[in-house]
Structures are given as structure tokens and as C-alpha cells.
Amino acid sequence: MTMVNIHEAKTHFSKLLKRVMSGEEIIIARSGEPVAVLTAVKKPAEDRIPGGDADLVLIKDNFDDPLPEFDI
């Protein structure tokens, strides 16, 4: 990780974003004390499509019928 001060971060923000987009993490500091971390946003592995598991579960018509009595 690279540490830069706030003035440098404001001055070279576009360059820092390019570095972050290539995978680098950058710490932004005030008077040598870290105050923030600039990192890339991680995208989900794949877009979710609603209904992708349709027809995988079968609910029978008698699903909510009372259960039979059992002798224990």
C-alpha cells in the first residue's frame, strides 16, 4: 500500500484512480496519520437473474394437509 497526503491526493486524484483500478490500495493521510483507504469497488462475480431456479422445487397439492398420527 502507498500512503499519500491529502494535498497530493487532491492534486493527482485521476492518476491515483488509475492506480487503484489496476489493483493497488492507497492510504490517504493527514499530517502522516492515515484517515482513509482508496480502493477499487469489487463487482459481483455474476449478475443475478431472478427465477433462475424455477421448476427445481415441486410443491404438491396436499402440502398443507394435516400429518398422519404416529404411535410412539
Give residue-wise pLDDT tens across range 6-35: 999 999 999 999 999 999 999 999 999 999
CATH number of the domain where residue 30 is located: 3.40.1620.10
pLDDT confidence tier of residue 48, bands split at 50, 70 and 90: confident
| Rounded Cα–Cα distance for residues 68 and 65 (Å) | 9
How many domains is the chain built from?
Answer: 1
Residue 56 covered by a domain: no
Q: Give, in order, the Cα–Cα distances in Å from 37 to each of 12, 29, 44, 62.
A: 15, 9, 21, 56
Mean pLDDT, residues 49-64 taken together: 87
Domain holding 10, by residue range, is: 2-38
- Residue listed under C-alpha cell 487532491: 10
- What pLDDT is stored for residue 72 in this prediction? 73
For the entire predicted model, the pTM comes to: 0.58
